[in-house]
Structure formats: structure tokens, C-alpha cells
Amino acid sequence: MEFSIKSGSPEKQRSACVVVGVFEPRKLTLAAELIDNAARSHLSDIVRRGDMEGKAGSTLLLHNVPGTLCDRVLLVGLGKEKEFGDREYCDAVRSAVRTLNETGSFDGTVFLTETNVRKRSAAWRVRQAAIVAEQTVYRFDQFKSKKDKVRRPLRKLTFVVDRRNELAAAEQALSEGQAIAEGMALAMDLANLPGNVCTPGHLAETALKIAADHKIDCQVIERDEMAALGMHSLLSVAKGSHQDPKLIVLQYKGGKGDEKPVLLVGKGVTFDTGGISLKPAPEMDEMKYDMCGAATVLGTLKATALLKLPINLTVVVPSTENMPGGGASRPGDIVTSMSGQTIEILNTDAEGRLILCDALTYAARFEPDTVIDVATLTGACVIALGHVASGLFANNDALARELLNAGDEAHDRAWQMPLWNDYQELLKSPFADMANIGGRWGGSITAACFLARFTKKYVWAHLDIAGTAWKSGADKGATGRPVPLLMHYLLKRGGKLR
């Protein structure tokens, strides 16, 4: 989609559709008032009759509004003004874009970006509007022989800011929003692919293409080299699959040569049957999403490269399938990780931590400033936090605060969970240095505690995205989260966020 920024009065816009807001109960925003004045109370008459009361998410499309130069005016309900915050603003933009796309308005001029949102700048409103707009029109239909047709799909959006001195900041924010949206689209495309297409090899090919497009260093480590490195924990997960595992390493060097990199690790289990500890059949198809951590870090890397952020960023993706083949690992097997620590595998469905621990050990060789791993790690995190917030664990409180703030800024929120040593007791094994599960209670915490044993050489955080990376049901599909959270964190580090 094409985007632009401008400043101007709504009644003077030559556009297929001008979008303005209405608060509940029946209160016009400033932009709507300007149209109403030009139209000799046409909007206020409609509102007074109850055709648009301002209920959040409601829309009303008006034709031939007198006193305006546009073809149509779209009224969007914003809910109660005193409750109008981040979520309400994003929902309003989403409703507007969906209506424009479904009603044949090939371009729209959106004045919602002028509407005040508590503690948010015009730049924030524009950045979020671009992200939400691209998400709203996103479709994954490449495997359909007959595509869903949209009559005159939305092609252009213009976001309006109310002061000319805000234009430069808004233009920069628009570029950031578009880059984040592109990173999210890559993450969603990869995650939505079926497991017979998005294999570890496919992830490696995608990484190589990103590297070629943006002149990024890329290395794909194969099974034999992993064995030579001592990555027997990662390899134990791959033993039941015919697909070769891959360890993908990309290095973006936009910062100073001696600047230590931020390092992102993304779990890339391209299909997770649970292995010998086989999952139940219902909804097992959704286990293609067990590589959303990998998709996230690749999408984040792409967005970083598009913006040419002045940082050094390294991405490590351990990727494999988890299948119940004849050579698969068994419950009770003991493996030696790259760190030299031994692990008793009590449940082969707790495989994400087994591939991440070797990747986290490997990460130390880059002498990173910060390491953040991203993984659809535990169903327990979904029980704890639902589908609203990602679980955040960290061995450094300052890093935790930075990520929490980035999630709040991005409206891609996380919630910090404890990482206390008390929980380490649950991972004890009589036969190895540790077990790979800690029992029924506190499952997301013991999983993070397991990873913490491999991250003592650097500042580290873990994002458990099992509840936020995809949706089930009628709207089933990947969400692209937490690309926005990570990008706002990196934008802040690069000194770009306004």
C-alpha cells in the first residue's frame, strides 16, 4: 500500500474518502466538526438522529456530503473520549481501513491521526496507523486456487497531522511503521506456511535471500558441523525427522565496528508433533506455528535493514522438526549440550529449550551486549497470560524494563515473570545435571530457568510468545508479534524513536 503524510483541512481534501471520528455519545472530533461546519450541520444532524452514536468500532459511510471536495466521508466510532487510549485508537484505525477496503475506496485521507491519544505523540499515532493498516489488509491466500476478490482494494492512505511542524517527525514515523509492517508480514508469511513447505531448509533459504537483498553476512551450519561443535541437545530433537536441522546465523553491521551486537535467538521448530511424547490430535495443525520465534527474529532483522538502523544486530535461528521417527529421542535419554551440561529428557515435547540452550551457548562467541531469545515455548504461559501479553523473563532488571517499555510503546505488551532460583530446584535430575521439565507447576517459569543455566555469560532476556504469536479459530493465523516490541526496543537503542 502507498502511504503519505500531509497537513490540511478535511473539507478541502480531494479524495475518494475522508475519515473522521465520533466519540460516544454523539460527539464530533475537531476534524468532523470542520466538515460539519462546511456541510451546514449535515454530520451533526446524522449524529443527532442516532445513525452514528460513536460506539467503538462502528462505522458509517456518507456519500455526497455538501461543502466537501471528497467523494465520501467515513465516520468512525471512537468510544468514550475519557477511555480513548492505545487499544481504542488502533481499533479505530483498523475499523476504518477494513471499511475502506471493503467498500471500494481505493484511497483514503485519514484524520484519526489528528485525534489526541493519552501520552502519545503525532509520530506515535502515524507509526501505529501504518502498522495497523498493513495488518488489516494482509491476506495469506497463496495456496487458494481461487483468491478472495476485493472490489477496488485500498491502494493509498494519507495520514493527516494537525501541525506543519509535525510533518518531519511524522514522515520518519511513517517510514518506521512501514518497515515494522514489512517485518511483520514476513514473519506472518513464514509462520502461516504449512509444515511441508516451511521446513528448516526453507527458513535457511529465506535467511540467505534476506542477506542477499540487504548485504548481510549469513552462515548456515549443517548437522555435521553442529555435531563437531557439541550441539547434541539440538541434534537430539532432530533425530526423528527426515529434514536436516539448520543453525542459521545472520550479522547486520550498521553500527560502529567495535560495538557489541544485540543478539536475537529465535526458536525454529518448523513442526512439532511432540516427538515420542506425542501431542493430542486436535489442533496439532497449529504446531506449524512453533517456528514463530524464528519468523519473528527474521522479520525484525528485515525491518532493521530496511531502516538502516545504526546498530549491530546478530540473529541466530536453531531450526528443526520434532517428529516421532524410529530414531527419535526417548523419554529418559540423556544428552550432552554444547555447554557440557548434561540433560535428562523426561518429555520430548519440551524440545524448544533443548534447541535453544545450544543456540544460547553458541551466542556467547559473538561477545554480545545483550541477548534476547524469542520462542513459542510453553502452553503454561498461555494459561498464565492468555493471548494478550507475552511472557518476559530476564537476568537483568534494566533490560527487562527496556523491553516492557518497548512493548508498551508498540502496543505489543509483555509481562515480567519471576526467574528466582527457588524454581531451579524443580529441574533436578538424579541421573544428569538437569531434567528438561520441572513438573506440572510453574511450567513457563521452569522452562525459563532451564534456559537461564546457559546464559550466565551475558545480559539476557527470554520472551515466551506461545499465547501471542498466532490466533486460533475463525481468524486463525500468525499475528507478527512480537516484531513491533523488538523493533521499538531497537529503535530506542539506535536513537531513532520519537
The pLDDT of residue 495 is 82
Q: What is the pLDDT of residues 342-373, one digit of tens each?
A: 999 999 999 999 999 999 999 999 999 999 99
Flag whether pLDDT at 23 surpasses 70. Answer: yes
- Between 153 and 197, the more confident residue is 197
- Number of alpha carbons in the 13 Å side-chain half-sphere of residue 460: 24
Average pLDDT, the chain: 96
Average pLDDT of the segment spanning 205-222: 98
Flag whether pLDDT at 316 surpasses 90. Answer: yes
Flag whether pLDDT at 314 surpasses 70. Answer: yes
Identify the active-site residue in 223, 260, 279, 492.
Answer: 279
The pLDDT of residue 54 is 94
The pLDDT of residue 103 is 87
Give the three cell numbers for residue 215.
548485504
The pLDDT of residue 148 is 74
CA 459, distance to chain mean position in Å, is 22
Flag whether pLDDT at 164 surpasses 90. Answer: no
CB 316 within 8 A of CB 358: no
Q: What is the pLDDT of residues 87-144, one digit of tens each?
A: 999 999 999 999 999 987 789 999 999 999 999 999 999 999 999 999 999 999 989 9
Within 10 Å of residue 431's Cβ, how many Cβ atoms?
9
The pLDDT of residue 321 is 98
Average pLDDT of the segment spanning 73-96: 97
Alpha carbon distance 482, 135 (integer Å):
13
Alpha carbon distance 351, 236 (integer Å):
9
**Which pTM was predicted?**
0.96
Percent of the chain with pLDDT over 70: 99
The pLDDT of residue 150 is 60
Flag whether pLDDT at 196 surpasses 80. Answer: yes
The pLDDT of residue 116 is 95
The pLDDT of residue 498 is 65
For residue 163, indicate whether it is catalytic. no
The pLDDT of residue 105 is 79
Flag whether pLDDT at 145 surpasses 90. Answer: no
Percent of the chain with pLDDT over 90: 93
Identify the active-site residue in 246, 353, 481, 496.
Answer: 353
Instruction: Give the chain as a 3 state SS string.
Output: CEEEEECCCHHHCCCCEEEEEEEECCEECHHHHHHHHHCCCHHHHHHHCCCCCCCCCCEEEEECCCCCCCCEEEEEEEEEHHHCCHHHHHHHHHHHHHHHHHCCCCEEEECHHHCCCCCCCHHHHHHHHHHHHHHHHCCCCCCCCCCCCCCCCCCEEEEECCCHHHHHHHHHHHHHHHHHHHHHHHHHHHHHCCCCCCCHHHHHHHHHHHHHHHCCEEEEECHHHHHHHCCHHHHHHHCCCCCCCEEEEEEEECCCCCCCCEEEEECEEEEECCCCCCCCCCCHHHHHHHHHHHHHHHHHHHHHHHHCCCCEEEEEEEEEEECCCCCCCCCCCEEECCCCCEEECCCCCCCHHHHHHHHHHHHHHHCCCEEEEEECCCHHHHHHHCCCCEEEEECCHHHHHHHHHHHHHHCCCEEECCCCHHHHHHHCCCCCCEECCCCCCCHHHHHHHHHHCCCCCCCEEEEECCCCCEECHHHCEECCCCHHHHHHHHHHHCCCCC
Flag whether pLDDT at 152 surpasses 80. Answer: no
The pLDDT of residue 106 is 84
The pLDDT of residue 70 is 95
Average pLDDT of the segment spanning 281-297: 97
Q: Which of 43-47, 187-191, 494-498 has the lowest mean pLDDT?
A: 494-498
Flag whether pLDDT at 151 surpasses 80. Answer: no
The pLDDT of residue 163 is 83
Dihedral sign for Cα 106, 109, 110, 113, please: positive
For residue 94, indicate whether it is catalytic. no
Average pLDDT of the segment spanning 6-22: 95
Q: What is the pLDDT of residues 384-431, one digit of tens each?
A: 999 999 999 999 999 999 999 999 999 999 999 999 999 999 999 999
Average pLDDT of the segment spanning 261-280: 98
